[in-house]
Structures are given as C-alpha cells and as structure tokens.
A and B are shown apart, each in its own frame.
Chain A
Amino acid sequence: MNMEDITARRNEPWRDELRKSMPAKDRTNIARVVMPELDPAYRITCNEEVNQGLTEEQALLEAKRCLDCPEPLCMTGCPVGINIPTFIKHIEKGEFLQAASTLKETSALPAVCGRVCPQEKQCESQCFYLKKLKKQPVAIGYLERFAADYSREHGTGEVPACAPANGIKIAVVGSGPCGLSFAGDMVKYGYDVTVFEALHEIGGVLKYGIPEFRLPNKFVDVEIDTLRKMGVTFVTDCIVGKTITYDDLHEMGFKGVFVASGAGLPRFMNIPGENLIGIMSCNEYLTRVNLMGAARQDWDTPVLSGKNVAVIGGGNTAMDSVRTARRLGAERAMIIYRRSEEEMPARKEEVEHAKAEGVEFMTLHNPIEYLGDETGKVTTMRLQRMELGEPDESGRRSPVEIEGAIEDVPVDTVIVAVGVSPNPLIPNTIKELEISRRGTIVVNEETMQSCLPDLYAGGDIVRGGATVILAMGDGRRAAAAMHEQLSK
C-alpha cells in the first residue's frame, strides 16, 4: 500500500470526525487492554484456548487509544502492510464487519494471524506509543483477532465473490497458510484450483503443529470451508513427487504449479544418546498429540510424555511442546535454551503463558549427552552451562561454554525443538529446480517464480522456518504474479 492511499483513506470525512471526537491526550491516558485469559491452574488441565478474546467494550476502548497517525509507523512493521489505522478506526466506530473487510484486503487469515503473529516484533514494535511516548503499544494483534472473530460469528457467512471461471487449472502443493492464501486468491481470479496435501488433514502447521490451546482447529476449518465453497478442490493423502509427479501434473492439464511444502524436516543435535527411547523431535511430539489425537480418549496413536520433561530450544515450537507436556501431566516441564531469555525467538506472550503454567526456564544451558537405563530409556540429561559472549552475525550474543560447569538432570522425556530444515521431497524430485545450499527453493523475490517458468514457490520451503504471516504474504504475491503471467 502506498502513502497516497493511506492518506486518502485517512482523509475520509468519517475518519476526520472520529479523530476530533476525542482529544489525543485523553486517548493516550487510556491504559492498554489486558487480554482475558483462562486461569493457569485450570488451563493446564485441558486444551481450551488460553486467550479468551476481547469483549466489545474492551475492543471499543482499546481502539480509542489508536491516534490514527498521519504516517502510521505500525504499518511499516507489518510484513504484508495491513492498513492498521483504518481497521482500528472502523472498530472505534463500531463497524466491526468493515474492520474485518479491511483486514481481508491484505491478510487471507486474520483470525489466525491475530493469534499467532509475533506482534511485539512487528506492528506493535513500531507503534507511535512505544516509539515516541514510551508507553505500551496499541494492542493491534488483539484488535485484529477481535474483528476477525466478530465477522466469523456475526457476518453474513457469504463467500467472497469470484471472477467468472476461466477454466485454467492450477495446482498447489501443500495446504499450510501459504498454499491456502495462494489458493484463495487464485480462485477469486477465476482459476480452477486444486490443492494437493501429503497428510490426511488440510492446514499444514496450523493443524499438526500449533496446539489447540493457542489456535483452535475449528477456526482454521472455517477458512478451509470458505475456500471449498469458493470452488477450491482439496486432495489429501497425495504427495507430489511420489503419488503424482510434476510431469503428471502437466499431463493432467495444470498450467501453473505453486509449491508451498513447508519446512518439515526436524533437526537433531547429533549428540550421544539422542536416539534413546523417550527422546523425540517437537514435530513428532506435536504431530502425535495434535494431528493423531494421542492422549485423547479412543484414539489409537500413543505418545510418550513423562513426569520430567525437557524441551530443548527457545522458539514457538519449544513453547508449544513444553506447554503441551504440562497438559499431559508433566510435573516438571523445563525449557533448556543455550542463550538467555532475551534472545528467545518465541512470541513473548507464549513465554509468559508458559511461565504462568509452571514451566521452568533453564536458560544458558545446553545438552551435551543423554544417558539411559538398560532398556534404552532416557533417564538423565547432561547439561553444559553457558555464558553470553560477543554478538554473532545474526546480531544475537552467542553463548560460550563455561568450562567444567556441567550438571546432570533427571528426565524421562526429551523433546528436541532446535529448528527445522526445508522439506526435501520436492527439491529432490524436480531435478531442474534451483535449490540453495540450505535446501530452499530459489525464487524471484518479487514474483515468487522459480527457474521453471510455470513453477512458483513460497512460505517455509523458500524461507526456511519463518512465520505464518510471511508464508501468507508469499502466497498472495505469487498468486498476483502468476495471474499476471497467465493473463498475458
């Protein structure tokens, strides 16, 4: 979105009127809203969503805080450039459905992003309140979630209008946020879109990774249903590169292929004892629980989840795993992270929620070995204490070992959440594709087009492990570019 548009919309009479309806000083005196959440003692006994969402009164008041800045700094922090003041002012005016439409102009999945975006590093980190007034930023994420939830619950349920069908077949590989947002835009342009998914469920990480207590599946399903109603076809249990090949897709008449296959390959640390029983990747742990229903009555898949659970890592996947472990009955649930809390890549809210739920944070610790009993079950984790040294190339202060500072901690379950690599299936099966040294698909950053003219890619398979909003933004950019190419 360019500055002219932003100014033009800000200059609409209703906005002007609204700004004048309350002096800026009064606005800045309002305290930031506090998200109502379930009590920690209760929530660790169930899988219910922790954040309960703002009430209408809370949302109306929080929206008043926003100063409707002429040059909204918040927007510079949003990876897809949502027109933040416009949607917030619609909320202030009580026009919740219009607020949701404004969000939908740019974001395909606002109910998801309002819940999982790292706002404190994006829009909210740039807000005028924080930058200039040294006050807490406007709760942009909470308001986004509010508007999206409101429109789902109170909207007409009408599906977005689509251009007349043009009969051109487009294939999407992978049904995570990237593939879904691409599919949504392409079907609106009039294409005949089919999404192929390797797993038995649609949704990618939103389903198998992010737990119910943070993102209930039913909200993801609403989005998928809308896409279905718009005409998108979903094919589960179909692995492109295995069940059908890229060449098969051409034979089947597909004129464009969008690869959004994610970063599914879990990394391990390759330290002694890591293959002992009870040690698994966060992907395995979360997939068993979220996708396969382990721990739910009547579901067949088992999961090992003990009383002393250590989760290695400091990202969202680590927080999701450790909080899941608490819910599955861990008495001692620990985060083991080799840097300090400041460097943790996880959303701040997740760290706070984890702490409230009784998770222990052992920062500046790094596992170096696991020991097991005679049956091969892990019993002990050997940790090396660390201290922070000089900042490394990523700007984070790199941890260095404190010589001799080694301690043993009893464990019965260890979950390794030290990152993921790009899913190698597509890169391995389409030989002509240009692949980076990290295993990602190389694309033109503007159009998301690969070196094969009809193959575009986006999301984690292009970026390595990234975020939902970036994946979604890629999908939308790729759709616009592919549409332009096919319209020529």
Chain B
Amino acid sequence: MNKIVSKEFFSDKVVKLVIEAPLIAKARKAGHFVIVRVDDKGERVPLTIAGADIEKGTITLVVQTVGKSTVKLGNLNPGDYIADVVGPLGQATHIDKVGTVVCCGGGVGVAPLLPIVQAMKAAGNRVISVLAARSKDLIILEDEIRASSDEVIIMTDDGSYGTKGLVTEGVEQIIKREKVDQCVAIGPAVMMKFVSKLTAQYNIPTVVSLNAIMVDGTGMCGACRVTVGGKLRFVCIDGPEFDAHQVDFDELMMRLRSYKEVE
C-alpha cells in the first residue's frame, strides 16, 4: 500500500500524483518506470517515474486519465492508498555528454522526458526541448523543463500557444539551424515514429521510450514484446528505451490496439 501525498491537475485529463515509495525513490534513475495496481481488482499499469524525492521518500507520476485504471487513479485523493506500486523497472536512460541534445515530448510524454532533460543538462549537454500538444492547456511541466533546458520550443496543433505545427517541424527547424548530436523522443507511438523518420534522414542518433502494453513488467509474460532491429525484445526488461531507427513502429502501433475492442 502506497499513500498519495499530493495531487495536482495539469489539465482536466492530466494529473500529477506524488506517492510514498521510499525504496523506489532511492533506487530509481531517469528512464525507469513503475507498475501500479490501483486496487485489489485493478490492472497492472506501467507509468514512468517523472521525479523522486529521496529525503521525503516519494516519487512523482504524471497520469493521463484515459482508460479505466488511469481514471480510477486520477479519482484518488491525497491520503488515499494505492494497492501496489512496484519498481523501479526497466533500464535507466543512458546519459552521456554528447554535445547538443534535442529532447522532444508529446502530450504526457513530457513527464517521463523531464528527468531525462534534467540528467542530460546535468551531464553538461546543451539541451533544446521541444514540447508539443494539441492545444495550450495540454502543455505540461513547461517551467520544470525550462529550468533544465537551454532553449524550449513549443508546438501546438491549433496554434493556441507557441508555434502552430507538429513536433517534427519544431525538430527540423533546429536540425537545419545547428548541429544536433542526439535526439530523445517520448510521446504517442505515431509521434515517435515520425520524429524517428526525420532524424534518420539526418543520421542523428535517436532514443525513444516505448509505451507497450504490459502485465507484470518483469519479463514474465511477453505482452510488451516489440521488434527492434529485427529481433524480439521485451520493453519492460530490455527497454523501455531503444534505438529509434531500429524500432518497428507499425507493429508497436498495431499491438497497442490489441484491447481496443474489449475496453
């Protein structure tokens, strides 16, 4: 049982939760995720750790309340308990000083991106962040991202904030302007697919964090399997981050639809 310490809505569908989990707070690194089971009859849902406070023994999750379980989670209040939180899972992000890094986040993908932006900056990189969403009210964590970025570009579909256009346009604008040594993209699968296509044209090494369907998160079930470089990999233990240019995004998007009809 893990207690919810605080809760804050970023928008009506995006909520930030701070949860007591001292062991996970201590062990986690950028890129790690947890599996959460809201109550005794709940699903096991993977959520990336957006931040942690070792002293307070808490971790931060940013949740888009779109499915049954995430809506349940969003309905909990400070003082309530979550049945299970297990982690940290997955491989931590590989952080190196490479030069200029473009970090792009789409929608709630900005939450898992934040610790990577912070770690990339701390490692001495020039960090340019590109945040994208449908409209202004869906841009989250902008201040936190700004605090660790040399420059922030905002893209919205409807032009209600920043520049009107897709995330790829924002990224391409940077690539055309200066030398980019690495790109990190986290967001909906289709967004990552197109960022990956773009950076492949320019030969820029790119890392994506995949949001596969999971059950256990420990390598036991294979629900999270993806094809990377023609090989079978499990997102929960081999990932969640992979070389974007090797990922079979079409298969990933197909597999993400597995339970569409059931839900």
B257 A284 Cβ-Cβ under 8 A: no
> What residue in chain B is nearest A376 (Cβ atoms)?
B254
Measured CA separation A376–B253 after assembly (Å): 10
Residues in A neighbouring B136, C-beta threshold 8 A = none
A237 B257 Cβ-Cβ under 8 A: no
B236 → chain A closest CB, angstroms: 11
Interface of A is mostly: loop
Residues in B neighbouring A389, C-beta threshold 8 A = none
Q: Does A265 contact B (CB under 8 A)?
A: yes
Interface residue tally on B, bucketed by range:
35 or more
Residues in B neighbouring A424, C-beta threshold 8 A = 219, 237
A-B contacts, CB under 8 A, total: 110
Known A-B contacts A244-B23, A270-B232; A300 and B69 likewise in contact (beta carbons under 8 Å): yes
Q: Does B258 contact A (CB under 8 A)?
A: yes
B225 A244 Cβ-Cβ under 8 A: no
Q: Does B98 contact A (CB under 8 A)?
A: no
Q: Does A79 contact B (CB under 8 A)?
A: no
Residues in A neighbouring B180, C-beta threshold 8 A = none
Q: Does A228 contact B (CB under 8 A)?
A: no
Q: Does B140 contact A (CB under 8 A)?
A: no
Q: B84-92, B109-117, B161-169: which lies at the A interface? A: B84-92
Residues in A neighbouring B226, C-beta threshold 8 A = 275
Interchain CB contact (< 8 A) of A300 among B42, B232, B254: B42
Known A-B contacts A280-B223, A283-B221, A425-B219; A302 and B255 likewise in contact (beta carbons under 8 Å): no
A259-280 residues with Cβ-Cβ distance < 8 A to B are 264-266, 268, 270, 275-278, 280
Known A-B contacts A238-B23, A242-B88, A287-B221; A298 and B41 likewise in contact (beta carbons under 8 Å): yes
Interchain CB contact (< 8 A) of B216 among A199, A242, A270, A276: A199
0 or 1 for each of B45-82: is its CB under 8 Å from A? (1 = yes): 00000000000000000000000110010000000000
Interchain CB contact (< 8 A) of A304 among B83, B232, B262: B262
A423 B223 Cβ-Cβ under 8 A: no
Known A-B contacts A264-B218, A287-B215, A300-B42; A275 and B251 likewise in contact (beta carbons under 8 Å): yes
B222 A242 Cβ-Cβ under 8 A: no
Q: Does A218 contact B (CB under 8 A)?
A: no
Interchain CB contact (< 8 A) of A301 among B43, B220, B222: B43
Q: Does A281 contact B (CB under 8 A)?
A: yes
A238-260 residues with Cβ-Cβ distance < 8 A to B are 238-239, 242-245
B37 → chain A closest CB, angstroms: 6
Q: Does B193 contact A (CB under 8 A)?
A: no
> What residue in chain A is nearest B42 (Cβ atoms)?
A300
Residues in A neighbouring B42, C-beta threshold 8 A = 300-301
A236 B220 Cβ-Cβ under 8 A: no
A243 B86 Cβ-Cβ under 8 A: yes
A266 B221 Cβ-Cβ under 8 A: yes
B68 A243 Cβ-Cβ under 8 A: no
B259 A302 Cβ-Cβ under 8 A: yes
Most chain A C-beta atoms within 10 Å of own C-beta, residue among B23, B226, B251: B23
B1 → chain A closest CB, angstroms: 9
Q: List 4 tightest A-B contacts by C-beta distance, closest first.
A: A376-B254, A284-B221, A237-B86, A264-B220
Mark A residues whose CB is within 8 Å of B: 198-200, 236-239, 242-245, 264-266, 268, 270, 275-278, 280-281, 283-284, 287-288, 292-293, 298-302, 304, 375-376, 423-425
New A-B contacts (17) at CB < 8 Å, excluding given A243-B23, A287-B220: A237-B85, A243-B27, A244-B23, A275-B225, A275-B255, A276-B254, A280-B221, A281-B222, A283-B221, A284-B221, A288-B215, A292-B44, A298-B41, A300-B41, A302-B259, A304-B258, A376-B257
User: Can you show 20 pairs from A to B with CB atoms below 8 A apart?
Assistant: A200-B84, A236-B84, A238-B23, A242-B88, A243-B86, A268-B232, A275-B226, A280-B221, A287-B216, A292-B215, A298-B41, A300-B42, A300-B43, A300-B68, A375-B257, A376-B255, A423-B218, A423-B219, A424-B237, A425-B237
